Structure 1
Amino acid sequence: MEELNPPQSATAEHELSNGISKLTLKEQKKLKRTPEPKLKPLQRSLELDPDAGNFLLPHDERYDNLDRLSESYRDILEGVGENPEREGLLDTPKRAARALLYFTKGYEEDASEIMRSALFDENHDDMVIVKDINIFSLCEHHLVPFYGTCSIGYLPNKKVVGISKLARVVETFSRRLQVQERLTKQIAHAITEALEPSGVGVIVKCTHMCMVMRGVEKPGSSTITSVMLGEFRNNPKSREEFLNLIKN
């Protein structure tokens, strides 16, 4: 009787076993104990968005809800009297779902971890300011954008942070459903907790589309919020210096 060939998987397993057995004992031990590389907590995989050319999107657990979100946007289109089957709207639910997940990517980021990744001991106690950091966020009341700038100042207490991390913290909190008052406070407290500085000042100036394109419809209006902590709250001279520097 003709002998049957072993299954392909069994053959591959046999070859792998033979290959390992040919290694020296030292090489076999090294192979077994080599750990898998661990990803950094903030490192994310990227996936290609087929609806936006080569635009790369961060992928996180929330993207598992993409189909459900897309169906919700389809219902919205029908609810406002549109036909989601017409050519211009065929891919709109999926595009809108992906956009919303990107607009709210701050939920997957940890501001304290961002700050801790670039803290440095430094004998410096003069004011540090980063001004006019762009902000794009979504009002949690109407889900329409508000946008503007954020200026940050702090008085170091023997410790400084990489200045790009201040912009990253602003991005983390603004890429969530927000109100401007809470956004300003979250930025200030995140810096205070990570750096333990002598003082922190944060000023946010934004235009709210819920006031521009609906409701009172007042183009040109802007909202300014501020949070002053430590020396910036208790010492008028420090506060005045900060306010003068961000104006000039």
Structure 2
Amino acid sequence: MTDDFDIEDKKNIEAMGFVRGMLEYIGEDVNREGLLETPARVLAAMGEHFSGYKEDPREHLLKTFEEVEGYDEVVLVSDIEVHSHCEHHMVPFIGKAHVAYIPRDRVVGLSKLARVVNGFAKRLQVQEKLTMQIANAIEEVLDPKGVAVIIQCQHFCMCHRGVHKPDSWTTTSKLTGSFLKNPSSRLELFQLIGMKK
């Protein structure tokens, strides 16, 4: 137990040294008052930003309910907040995810879909991969008639650096099963997403 603590403590000390090195690299004085606790704060923030590495998001989908009177239409949770970090620049991208599925014989708690989004988003990501990971997890665990994941985000690496286009949004989507093959299911999905709240 003590050895595990020592290893973790050494990792934290090493990581705080890396943060100090980055501060020095950008020209800061790491010994000034305002930065003395910054390395520890950065580690705490990173622990929160990247907490998805400590979980398997699929586990949120394991508990399901079959007593739903045979419900087999669209289940949509829209406007799920997305907070992630670009794996190319380690800067944020933020926006909304719309996640839908058509159950085959069971449903999952609504909050679990948001937890799946969070579990994959709280990692270094590219939006395309994030979209696929969410859709694949729902497809594999729930075996629904169809899955739809649509994500719309602003990427700080594009908005606030490089090309500097702050009004740009990136949209990615993954449709499977009935959403892909059945135009009426797809139309219903888009109408539900576009409905006034």
Q: Is TM more than 0.5 here?
A: yes
C-alpha deviation, 1:113, in angstroms: 1.1
* Match in the other structure for 2:194: 247
C-alpha deviation, 1:159, in angstroms: 0.8
The letter of the residue matching 1:167 is A
* Match in the other structure for 1:201: 148
> How well do the aligned residues superpose, as a CA RMSD in angstroms?
1.4
The answer on whether the counterparts of 1:66 and 1:98 sit within 8 Å (CA) in structure 2 is no
* Match in the other structure for 1:80: 26
C-alpha deviation, 1:243, in angstroms: 1.0
Q: 1:90 aligns with which of 18, 36, 48?
A: 36
Q: 1:168 aligns with which of 115, 119, 129?
A: 115
Compared CA separation, residues 62 and 237, structure 1 to 2 (3 A): farther
Q: Distance in 2 between matches of 1:113 and 1:65?
A: 28
* Match in the other structure for 1:99: 45
* Residue 183 of structure 2 is aligned to residue 236 of structure 1: yes
C-alpha deviation, 1:120, in angstroms: 1.3
The answer on whether the counterparts of 1:63 and 1:101 sit within 8 Å (CA) in structure 2 is no
Compared CA separation, residues 221 and 190, structure 1 to 2 (3 A): same
* Residue 64 of structure 2 is aligned to residue 119 of structure 1: yes
Compared CA separation, residues 163 and 133, structure 1 to 2 (3 A): same
* Match in the other structure for 1:188: 135
Give structure 1 stretches of 5+ with no counterpart.
1-60
Q: Secondary structure at the match of 1:164?
A: helix
The letter of the residue matching 1:65 is K
Identity %: 48
C-alpha deviation, 1:66, in angstroms: 2.2
Give structure 2 stretches of 5+ with no counterpart.
1-6
Compared CA separation, residues 133 and 76, structure 1 to 2 (3 A): same
Normalised to the residue count of structure 1, the TM-score between the two structures is 0.73
Q: 1:108 aligns with which of 30, 49, 54?
A: 54
Normalised to the residue count of structure 2, the TM-score between the two structures is 0.91
Q: Distance in 2 between matches of 1:65 and 1:226?
A: 38
Q: Secondary structure at the match of 1:240?
A: helix
Q: Distance in 2 between matches of 1:162 and 1:68?
A: 41
* Residue 126 of structure 2 is aligned to residue 179 of structure 1: yes
Q: Which runs of 4+ in 1 moved over 6 A?
A: 61-64
Q: Secondary structure at the match of 1:224?
A: strand
Q: Radius of gyration: which is bigger?
A: 1
Q: Distance in 1 between matches of 2:93 and 2:167?
A: 13
Q: Distance in 2 between matches of 1:243 and 1:76?
A: 45
Q: Distance in 1 between matches of 2:146 and 2:128?
A: 19
Q: Secondary structure at the match of 1:218?
A: coil
The answer on whether the counterparts of 1:204 and 1:225 sit within 8 Å (CA) in structure 2 is yes
Compared CA separation, residues 239 and 115, structure 1 to 2 (3 A): same
The letter of the residue matching 2:144 is P
C-alpha deviation, 1:62, in angstroms: 7.3
Q: Relative CO higher for 1 or 2, CA cutoff 8 Å, sep ≥ 6? A: 2
* Residue 86 of structure 2 is aligned to residue 139 of structure 1: yes
Q: Count the aligned residue pairs.
A: 187
The letter of the residue matching 1:120 is F
Compared CA separation, residues 88 and 161, structure 1 to 2 (3 A): same
